[in-house]
A and B are shown apart, each in its own frame.
Chain A
């Protein structure tokens, strides 16, 4: 199943911050992790990840450093900062509220959707 574009955009920041809170990663690995977590349902345009990472860096949520890959190429690694962790906690609260509200709506319409659990 394909997830709507706006939904992907809205969840991008908490997803990236959440993935980075497990450990430092570089861009391609972050995208692979997103794909794994969503069972392939969330397909990002790969190139759009980098402006997002740069924005998070400007806001101070992540920091970056250049290293080298196994093949000897320059590779930029990203790590979450304390401000990023605070932001993530805040986003988490917001998403919990949204997911709770949605769950009640699904129950009211008697058509529970499995997707909701994925968000909460």
Chain B
């Protein structure tokens, strides 16, 4: 019996060792242990002693690093927080942490300088509005490109669309205050953000898993940015109040120097925080989506009821339609983020049903809005604003309808969750394409009005 105790101790040590791999979950370790014990029992049956049987079984199981690498490839969601962290003991460990921090801070200041220069030189408000995204984007992309060790061709993939966008936004003779200018300024960040995505996935933008990682990155970035903004706002408010009592007018400094540097700089810093410290927020993401999904469903239902009571959208004003568009985009972001935070292997549950309700409610709102828009177009004719809004709503309709259809299949256990995920990640570039059309094609078509 003593030798069996030794075997148990060996298996325990093995378990402890396997558990250290982040890619192998405790359930997977159970599965592997079951395998190991079966193999040992079979070896013992052929006459090997405990130790020999254990050694053979371990050998057959394979090199643990290689096996955990395979697990990591299959379960990148367990690992995504480690993707960019430097593995212990590798060559990269010699890169001091302060070096990354220095680069991040330099890029954050650079983004601030670019925005400040934009304020100084682009005296025309429209030009500044169009270029704001272009001013900040290179610094964020540069950080990610540095992080992913971009090479020449990969950099070109980023630079060429960026340059094209910059040319279109600045060389088109926009009529001052025209709606095509406003539309271009609104849609340019969408394209830029997808380019950030290309930088984030290290050029592997065809991979669904990496795209989903980018969705996670976007969600976490929004959370970090909000936290930074809240902290900054508290600091600024306290400073402002104190200096006011002392009799110093702080506002010019705040407007001219602090905000132009802090607002874009915080974006770069937030990106760095997401890269380096994901596990801090990681456990909050599923909780947040679970809290806000039912609340958003309630909001959508109330809106639907109110609008139905008010006789629909038919004579609704333009601002209401824009507001509703914003709400729908927000709902979609929430949906995407909660899908990215979900364990893909978990069986369908109550929350998935709730998500379907959210999709259906959003679809209902979208359908009502589309009717209202078509009525408006029939009544007042076309305008760039209306076509842009109509296009966005059609994209949302297709996105939501298919998402709902797939969710029904998943709930009825006809489809794996991967199908739901794949639809989301594959559809994302469509928004970029539409934004590109609005920025590049709309102005000439509508005479830059």
Contact = CB atoms under 8 A, between A and B. Distances in A.
Interface of A: 26-28, 45-48, 50-52, 54-55, 57-60, 69, 71, 73-76, 83
Interface in B46-82: 60-64, 66-67, 70-71, 73-75
Nearest to A65: B347
Given A59-B418, A74-B34, A48 B39 contact: no
Interface of B: 27-28, 30-35, 37-39, 60-64, 66-67, 70-71, 73-75, 344-345, 415-419
A76 B33 CA distance: 11
21 contacts: A26-B34, A28-B35, A45-B61, A46-B35, A46-B61, A47-B66, A48-B66, A50-B31, A50-B35, A54-B28, A54-B75, A54-B345, A57-B416, A58-B345, A58-B418, A71-B37, A73-B30, A74-B31, A76-B27, A76-B31, A83-B416
Contacts of A57: 345, 416
Contact of A50 (B28, B37, B73, B344): B28
Contact of B419 (A26, A50, A51, A60): A60
A6 to B, nearest CB: 16
Contacts of B28: 50, 54
A69 B37 CA distance: 11
Contacts, number: 78
A98 B282 CA distance: 47
A-side interface mostly: helix
B416 A60 contact: yes
B-side interface mostly: helix
Which of the listed residues A46, A74, A76 has the most CB atoms from chain B within 10 Å of its own CB? A46
A77 to B, nearest CB: 10
A51 B416 contact: no
B61 A28 contact: no
Contacts of B31: 27, 50, 74-76
B415 A60 contact: yes
A58 B415 contact: no
A27 B73 CA distance: 19
B208 to A, nearest CB: 11
B74 A46 contact: no
Contact of B416 (A27, A48, A59): A59
B14 to A, nearest CB: 12
Nearest to B60: A46
Contacts of A69: 34
Contact of A27 (B35, B66, B74, B418): B35
Given A28-B34, A74-B30, A54 B74 contact: yes
Contacts of B67: 45, 47-48, 50-51
B418 A45 contact: no
A83 B409 CA distance: 13
Nearest to A76: B31
A47 B62 contact: yes
A60 B66 CA distance: 25
Contacts of A58: 74, 344-345, 416-418
A51 B39 contact: no
A27 B66 CA distance: 18
Those 7 A-B pairs whose CB atoms lie nearest each other, nearest first? A60-B416, A45-B62, A47-B67, A51-B70, A28-B38, A47-B62, A51-B74
